[in-house]
Amino acid sequence: MNNPFSLESKVIIVTGASSGIGAQCAIDCSKMGAKVVLVARNEERLRQTLNQMEGDGHMILALDLSSSDGLKEVIKDVVSKMGKINGVVNCAGMSSVTPLKMITDGQLDQFFRTNVYSAINLSKEVTRVGNFDKEAGCSIVFFASIMGLVGEKCKTMYSATKGALIAASRSMACELAKNKVRVNVVSPGAIETPINARLPHMADAELRKELEEKHLLGLGECADISNACIYLLSDAAKWVTGQNFIIDGGYTAR
């Protein structure tokens, strides 16, 4: 029987592939047969991810996604080397615990550039005619968070960017469906990765226990999220677009 979750011969771009969930996504995409383009700023850590991947023909792209300068040419180059693109996992992102009164224009700008502009700009370039696989279709996955749906103290900046992605994905899904491009969002609960390892709710034992209890199934693992990405990238999800997949161990069920 054909495996509907296979990514055999698909070209998938994974941003944030140097760490945490993005690294896991890149590894799991390779295990499912994809040719993967690994994107983040730190080339050495991208190589560490590459070393854990299966198959050949993957590509490393050291890029700061907070700026769109030169992105058009970069994506053209990727297509010429790898072939037309079948999927993008926009996993790159930043987080912080910042009280409202401490927020500056500069920080807001950096958060929106890294978490929102990066995903929109990359999606724009990938979905230009000639860059994506119009016959097989293309699947775009945005990374939001449960913080885009519910609140916590000191998460205003982060929540604002994640809520923006959830809203943007729906309009993008409407616009691109005619081109066989699907756009969906994954909204994880807390997963222990470098993004939050030093933040108080993970580093402080009491706060961590509180956080664990809010997740009915405990904290998640990177693979819990990458499995959802595999589904969304695969033909098993060919009738799924404009949706937000909340994968949070029951956090929002309470």
Ligand X SMILES: NC(=O)c1ccc[n+]([C@@H]2O[C@H](COP(=O)([O-])OP(=O)(O)OC[C@H]3O[C@@H](n4cnc5c(N)ncnc54)[C@H](OP(=O)(O)O)[C@@H]3O)[C@@H](O)[C@H]2O)c1
Footprint of ligand X (CB under 6 A):
15-16, 18-22, 40-42, 45, 64-66, 91-95, 114, 143, 145, 188, 190-191, 193-196
Smaller CB distance to ligand X: residue 18 or 184? 18
CB 237, CB 7: distance < 8 Å: no
CB of 104 to ligand X, least distance (A): 18
Give whole-number Cα distances, 158 to 99, 118, 167, 234, in Å. 11, 15, 15, 29
Direct distance between the N- and C-terminal alpha carbons of the chain, in angstroms, rounded to an integer: 39
CB 161, CB 116: distance < 8 Å: yes
CB 63, CB 37: distance < 8 Å: no
CB of 209 to ligand X, least distance (A): 16
Burial class (CB in 10 A: 0-12, 13-18, 19+), 253: exposed
Tokens 């709710």 correspond to 201
CB of 179 to ligand X, least distance (A): 25
How far apart (Å, rounded) are the C-alpha atoms in residues 56 and 126?
A: 22
Instruction: Read off φ and ψ for residue 156, nearest 5 degrees.
Output: -55, -50
CB of 68 to ligand X, least distance (A): 11
Smaller CB distance to ligand X: residue 18 or 234? 18
Smaller CB distance to ligand X: residue 13 or 133? 13
CB of 22 to ligand X, least distance (A): 5
Smaller CB distance to ligand X: residue 10 or 201? 201
CB of 98 to ligand X, least distance (A): 14
What is the separation of C-alpha 129 from the centre of its chain, rounded to a whole number of angstroms?
23
CB 252, CB 146: distance < 8 Å: yes
Smaller CB distance to ligand X: residue 16 or 133? 16
Smaller CB distance to ligand X: residue 13 or 91? 91
Q: What amino acid occupies position 186?
A: V
Q: Where are the alpha helices (DSSP H) in 177-215?
A: 200-203, 205-214
